[in-house]
Amino acid sequence: MCAPLDPLDFKVRSWVADSGWPITLDELLPYYCEAQELLELGEYNYSLDYWQKKCSGFTPFPLDKDVIWSKMWQFSPPTRFGKKYKETIVNSPNIFLYTYSNLTKIIASEHVNHIRELQVKNLEGKTHRVRAKKFVLACGAIQNARMLLASRGQAKNGIGNDKDNVGRYFMEHLEIKSAELWLKKSFSTELYTFDYGTRNPRAELALTEAFQENNSVLNGTASLTPLEIAKKQTPLIDVWSNEDPRQSFDNLVANIRVSREKSYAKNNMNGEMAFELFTRMEQAPNRNSRIILSDEKDALGVPKPQLHWQLTELDKYSIRKMYHILGEQMGKASLGRIKLEEFLWDENDHSMPDHLGGGWHHMGTTRMSADRNKGVVDANCKVHGISNLFIAGSGCFSTAGSANPTLTLVALSLRLSDYLKTS
Ligand SMILES: Cc1cc2nc3c(=O)[nH]c(=O)nc-3n(C[C@H](O)[C@H](O)[C@H](O)COP(=O)(O)OP(=O)(O)OC[C@H]3O[C@@H](n4cnc5c(N)ncnc54)[C@H](O)[C@@H]3O)c2cc1C
């Protein structure tokens, strides 16, 4: 499920500490278009107008456009990169692919301004060294931070960590069932339907940029699922707790299919009067939300990572505000009413319930900033202070936005590869 970040996501927002990317959406645009193809999505167009012309049944709720908009999403098959691009990589004359080779250490020069080599091990006990002019870490946001922190041979706090930013600012999308929408009269909700078994795009409800700014809230969306179906779904935490994340995805899809089959609502949301509203909200950047190293080591002798996921008052406030406004707008338009989940009732309660989830969207641990005091990588994804070490992935995100991360992280990686070719 993919969408690009919104223009506001890249800007400094006075109400969000440490917000602002050193690049703009426009700079990323050509790479978004390329990423769109790699992820086997449709045309790079996320405007509601465009999709309304293509799908005649797409009608947004008639809400105040200055306050609420319908954010479009597209669905990939999904693309399994290993399967889809294996042959291209194997047949490429300038790529050497080594599998079962686990990075265990990054070795820097004496002054820690240059990477000399990587240490790579396998479970058979073999150790290899990898030398190159330039290195790109692309092990995922948690593992990238872990490898930098664990490489302490030349720098006691780890590589790229002289300003103590590596592993900090860990962000997830806050995913949680938050409210119910009860319509007064039937409304065609095809635009908002997750059309199981097809790759049709769909929309989620979101607060406009102007509203976010005027009310000092974070970016987030609310998706609709007919209540009848939602009630029959297994909680996400049980569906997604799987050693192999690909299995988790298959379980997720099966969960939706089975709950639809059990429900009279089936595939068609038209005629439904009650919906579950599910949040996907960005998490505000927070230095105390972080990956550190555990005392425990893995089979190859590398300290395991430990996650300290910490949220702020702004995170909870933003979720509550989004549903207050959505309720107000639904009422004003005489469309229906919103019933908040209990965890949102008390305005003075800033805690989150235990069933709060994330989307497996790990971000921010090697955040991008033009200022080396505030980030790990610069605008080109190069580690500050190290001439030949680069990072790919959503660890580089300065803020999370409300969109799922993969389209943006692939776009950033394409931009990085252009930079490496020309620099
Ligand atoms: C169930 C599920 C559903 C998701 N749904 C969506 C979605 O709908 N939309 C979306 O945008 N995103 C989604 N995501 C998130 C998406 O999968 C990630 O954003 C994306 O895979 C991150 O890409 P990456 O290449 O940075 O990291 P990864 O895909 O994690 O790749 C990192 C690779 O590095 C390897 N590695 C790690 N450590 C080492 C080491 N020490 N040495 C050598 N190799 C190493 C790993 O084995 C892995 O192959 C989902 C994730 C899950 C789990």
**pLDDT of 193 higher than 80:** yes
Sequence-ordered strand ranges (E) for 220-379: 220-226, 274-281, 290-297, 303-308, 336-340
Task: Give tens-digit pLDDT for 354-380.
Answer: 999 999 999 999 999 999 999 999 999
Query: Does 392 fall in a domain?
Result: yes
Testing ligand 1's pocket by substitution, the residue of 404, 412, 414 carrying the most ligand atoms inside 8 A of its CB is 404
* Mean pLDDT of all residues in 268-280: 85
Per-residue confidence (pLDDT) for residue 250, from 0 to 100: 74
- CA 203 to centroid of ligand 1, rounded, Å: 24
Question: How far apart, in whole angstroms, are the C-alpha atoms of residue 197 and residue 286?
Answer: 38
Residue whose CB lies within 8 A of the most ligand 1 atoms, among 38, 406, 410, for a mutation test: 406
Mean pLDDT of 52-59: 94
State which residues form the domain around 134. Answer: 1-41+94-163+356-423
Atom of ligand 1 nearest to the CA of 245: 53
Determine the 3-state secondary structure of 103 from DSSP: strand
pLDDT at position 233: 80
Residue nearest to atom 35 of ligand 1 (CA): 139
Does 141 reside within a domain?
Answer: yes
Residue 339 falls inside a structural domain: no
What is the pLDDT, as a whole number, of residue 260? 66
User: Which pLDDT belongs to residue 319?
Assistant: 98
> Residue 73: is its pLDDT beyond 90?
yes
Cα-Cα end-to-end distance for the chain: 33
- Ligand 1, atom 50, lies closest to the CA of 360
- Is the peptide bond preceding residue 22 cis, with omega within 30 degrees of 0? no
pLDDT reported for residue 270 = 60
Query: Model's pTM, two decimal places?
Result: 0.95
Distance, in Å, from the CA atom of 328 to the CA atom of 70, rounded to the nearest integer, reads 16
Residue nearest atom 32 of ligand 1, based on CA coordinates: 139
Q: Which atom from ligand 1 is nearest to the alpha carbon of 407?
A: 11
266 pLDDT more than 70: no
Flag whether 49 is in a domain: no
Looking up residue 6, the CATH number of its domain turns out to be: 3.50.50.60
Average pLDDT, the chain: 94
Confidence of residue 263 (pLDDT cuts 50, 70, 90): low
Task: Compute, in angstroms, the gap from residue 348 CA to the centroid of ligand 1.
Answer: 36
Into how many domains does the chain fold?
1
Atom 43 (ligand 1) nearest CA: 102
User: Considering the domain boundaries, does residue 255 fall inside one?
Assistant: no
For 106-152, the pLDDT digits (tens) are: 999 999 999 999 999 999 999 999 999 999 999 999 999 999 999 99
* Within-domain flag for 197: no
pLDDT score of 255: 73
- Which strand (E) or helix (H) includes residue 265? none
140 CA → ligand 1 middle, Å = 6
The residue to mutate among 74, 104, 106, 139, having the most atoms of ligand 1 within 8 angstroms of its beta carbon, is 139
Q: What is the pLDDT of residues 4-39, one digit of tens each?
A: 999 999 999 999 999 999 999 999 999 999 999 999
Nearest partner of 7 among 191, 204, 286, 213, judged by Cα: 213
Contacts of 162 (CB under 8 A, 6+ apart): 112, 155, 385
pLDDT of amino acid 257: 72
pLDDT band at 200 (very low <50, low <70, confident <90, very high): confident
Alpha carbon of 386 to ligand 1 centroid (Å): 25
Task: Specify whether the CB–CB gap between 140 and 146 falls below 8 A.
Answer: no
Give the per-residue pLDDT at 149: 98
The reported pLDDT for the residue numbered 90 is 96
- Does residue 217 lie within any of the structural domains? no
Q: Residues enclosing ligand 1, CB less than 6 A?
A: 1-2, 102-103, 138-140, 143, 147, 240, 245, 248-249, 360-361, 393-394, 404-406, 409
Nearest CA to ligand 1 atom 6: 1
Does 265 have pLDDT greater than 70?
A: no
Q: Compute the distance from residue 329 Cα to the ligand 1 centre, in Å.
A: 38
What is the pLDDT at residue 254? 75
How many angstroms separate the Cα of 402 from the Cα of each of 33, 205, 281, 351, 358? 19, 11, 6, 20, 12
Q: How far is CA 168 from CA 288, 308, 368, in A?
A: 6, 9, 12
Residue 136 within a domain: yes
